Amino acid sequence: MSTSIALHVGSLERGETASTREPAWVKVVLISIALSFFGIFLLLPLGTVFAEALRKGWGAYLAALVNRDAWDAIRLTLITAAIAVPLNLVFGVAASWAIARFEFVGKRVLITLIDLPFSVSPVISGLIYVLLFGAQGWFGPWLQEHDIRIIFAVPGIVLATIFVTFPFVARELIPLMEAQGSEEEEAAVVLGASGWQVFWYATLPNIKWGLLYGVILCNARAMGEFGAVSVVSGHIRGQTNTMPLYVEILYNEYNYAAAFAVASLLALLAIITLALKTLVERQTRRQLQEVTEASGE
């Protein structure tokens, strides 16, 4: 597959004349600018995280990660993601089924509303839950009466995380399902398949890579969210500290090596996310190519 792409590019380049190509020096300058910008803005911060984390050696690095506070932060981050990601996954599938498979009035408005959390500042995403469930909030007095804590407690962190990761799966699936059309599913219905059978056997195999892509991005944000969670957490060690919040506490205590040690786990998560993303993109491109080749024959 890759050789055919390379050959194609090669033939294009041979067909080029000098006037459809930049002078060599322009090309060199542009590539140099991109490489230096890439080095300073992207590689350097990433490298710094690992360099600072290991500055005091592996012993200090491990000690920063293997202790009660760090472990509590890791656990809370995992729990939060384990609740937020599946909920938004189910929502994303339901929303894209309704939007990409049916025509109805107000579709564009609905899509815009689904995108809303992306355009809201993380700080405001936390604030809205304080306004709802905080001591002075709408449900504050009632919650206090029944001794239920949401703000400055785990439920608030989970809610804020669900809000900021809300659009990820839906936004990947809607354009994908719209592009694929519904012929296969309609054929399955005509052949007598039930609704769930249509979804499992006709829809899911076609959207699985897009779904995975959405879940990967959703998970990365859920584990890394800082601003929204910071507003609702109250920063209680061992109780309401997620990993990003724990990084902040350590950093503000001038415990840089430990802060970067915890940060290095999050940076590792980012690298894994990007690697998976690249892999999934390659898969979808291959799938798309097979579809276009099949229809071309």
Of 84-123, which residues contact other proteins (CB under 8 A)? 90-91, 94-95, 97-99, 101-106, 108, 110, 112-117, 119-123
CB nearer other proteins, residue 130 or residue 207:
130
Binding mask 231-270 for other proteins (x = CB under 8 A): x-----------xxx-xx--x----x--xx--x--xx-xx
- Binding of residue 191 to other proteins (CB under 8 A): no
d(CA 238, CA 235): 9
Amino acid at 57: G
**Residue with Cβ nearer other proteins (62 or 272):** 272
In the range 66-85, which residues lie near other proteins by CB under 8 A? none
Longest dimension (CA), the chain: 78
| Among 160, 197, 186, residue whose Cα is nearest residue 83 | 160
Q: Which is nearer to other proteins, 4 or 297 (CB)?
A: 4
**Least distance (Å) from other proteins to the CB of residue 288?**
13
Pick out residues in 197-226 that bind other proteins (CB under 8 A): 198-199, 217, 220, 223-226
- Binding segment for other proteins among 42-50, 68-76, 141-149, 285-293 (CB under 8 A)? 42-50
Q: Give the C-alpha separation, 195 to 185, whole Å.
A: 9
Of 104 and 297, the one with the shorter C-beta distance to other proteins is 104
Contact 249, 235 (CB under 8 A): yes
Mapped onto helix, strand or coil, the DSSP state of residue 147 is coil
Size of the site for other proteins (CB under 8 A): 105
Query: If binding is defined by CB under 8 A, does position 38 make contact with other proteins?
Result: yes
The verdict on 179 binding other proteins (CB under 8 A) reads no
Q: Which residues contact 208 (CB under 8 A, 6 or more apart)?
A: none
User: Residue 118 carries which DSSP code?
Assistant: G
Residue selected from 62, 179, 274, 291 as contacting other proteins according to rule CB under 8 A? 274
Q: How far is the CB of 17 from other proteins (least distance, A)?
A: 6
Cα separation of the two ends of the chain: 17
**Nearest 5°: CA angle at 121, between 92 and 136?**
100
Return the amino acid letter for 55. R
Give the C-alpha separation, 151 to 135, whole Å: 8
If the CB atoms of residues 63 and 127 are measured against other proteins, the closer one turns out to be 127
DSSP 66: S
DSSP 171: H
The structure tokens listed for 16 are 């080029």
Size of the chain, expressed as the number of residues it contains? 297
Helix 154-165 vs helix 122-133: crossing angle, to nearest 10: 130
Site for other proteins (CB under 8 A): which residue of 163, 210, 218, 258? 163
Indicate the residue among 129 and 209 with the shorter CB distance to other proteins: 129
CB atoms inside a 10 Å sphere around CB 87:
16
User: Quick one: 226 or 296, whose CB is closer to other proteins?
Assistant: 226
- Applying the rule CB under 8 A, the residues between 117 and 156 that interact with other proteins are 117, 119-124, 127-132, 134, 136-138
Residue 3 CB, nearest approach to other proteins (Å): 15
- Cβ-based nearer residue to other proteins, 8 or 71: 8
